[in-house]
A = this chain, B = another copy of it.
Amino acid sequence: MNIQRLRYLREIARRNLNLTAAAQALHTSQPGVSRQIIELEEELGIQIFVRKGRRLVDITEPGQRVLEITNRLLFELDNLSQVAAEHENEAIGTLIIGTTHTQARYKLPNILQQFRQDYPRVTIKIKQGTPEQIAHWLREGQADLGMASESLHGAQGLSSKAWYQWSHVVVTPSDHLLQQRFSTRPQDIKLEDIAAFPLLTYDTAFAGRTEINHAFAQKGLSPEVAISALDADVIKTYIRARMGVGLLAQMAYDPQTDSGLVAISCAHLFSPRTAYLAIANRRIQRSYVYALLDLAIGKAEVLDLRAQALAQ
């Protein structure tokens, strides 16, 4: 048995059964990959791929089981490299953070600034995606550390810790009607008041958008969502263009930089959201991963998270 074959298998699966693309990604030749896969199938006595003529069109059922085991095996192989890298030099390497726009844009900068001072030779890669994608990257070893909403918590194969809580704010132009009515007593604002205007808010799957929908639905309201976008910067542009009122994460509003816009807290309208930090179970982490976590949640919590992830 040869590990290279398993690497090829995993890459082909990742590239939607495109052997050519896999070969390129692995910086090797197409025929080499082809032959290794055929030999792997012969060695195991299992047809892994369904072929149509000379194309790979599907994975067989036993092939699927082989793939799952292969992924776990290569995961452990990655762990070996991690131990080696750690031993080599604990302050050099790469740190891949899987996160959503909201965290990357508003919460991470401070932390990363500090982190860069402590570990100047660690290359940081921020990989943005949905919480589901982030969970997937963590499990596959394609990200070291995840930062996102509740859905990370309790996700299969991950261990997580609460990071901080936040709530939503209504953001409007300074001279907007809502602002005139509620600036002095924001606690009086109701969902009905907001629903009277077109909404500008996050895409589903982000920043508590599900939660927003849910809160309105419970009151029997179905506000018009004029525009939904991945990130607050885009949304703010449309707020300025007076296309509706924004419903953003509180972190996304800064009175200093967001001149011309004002925010009205609506913590009482939507249940508070929690952001979570997560790492993959059984994954050997470089020491600086824990150092970064330390900056976010403190030593005690990090130790607990670590124990949790390794015990699984």
Contacts and interface: CB of A to CB of B under 8 A. Distances in A.
Interface of A: 1-3, 43-46, 62, 65-66, 69-70, 72-73, 76-77, 79-80, 83-84, 87-88, 282, 284, 312
Contacts of A73: 73, 76-77, 80
A312 to B, nearest CB: 7
Number of chain copies forming the complex: 2
Residues of A contacting B: mostly: helix
A69 B44 contact: no
In the complex, the 4 A-B pairs of residues with the closest C-beta atoms, listed nearest first: A73-B76, A44-B84, A69-B79, A72-B76
Given A2-B3, A3-B1, A69-B284, A45 B79 contact: no
8 contacts: A65-B284, A66-B80, A69-B79, A69-B284, A73-B73, A73-B76, A73-B80, A76-B76
A1 to B, nearest CB: 6
Contacts of A72: 76, 79, 282
Contacts of A79: 69, 72
Given A3-B3, A66-B83, A70-B76, 14 more contacts: A1-B77, A2-B3, A44-B83, A46-B84, A65-B83, A65-B284, A69-B83, A69-B284, A70-B80, A73-B73, A73-B76, A73-B77, A73-B80, A312-B312
A69 B86 CA distance: 14
A88 B44 CA distance: 9
A87 B45 contact: yes
Nearest to A62: B87
Contact of A69 (B2, B76, B87): B76
A80 B282 CA distance: 20
A63 B62 CA distance: 35
A3 B84 CA distance: 16
Contacts of A76: 69-70, 72-73, 76
Contacts of A70: 76, 80
Contacts of A80: 1, 44, 66, 69-70, 73
Contacts of A1: 3, 77, 80
Contacts of A45: 84, 87-88
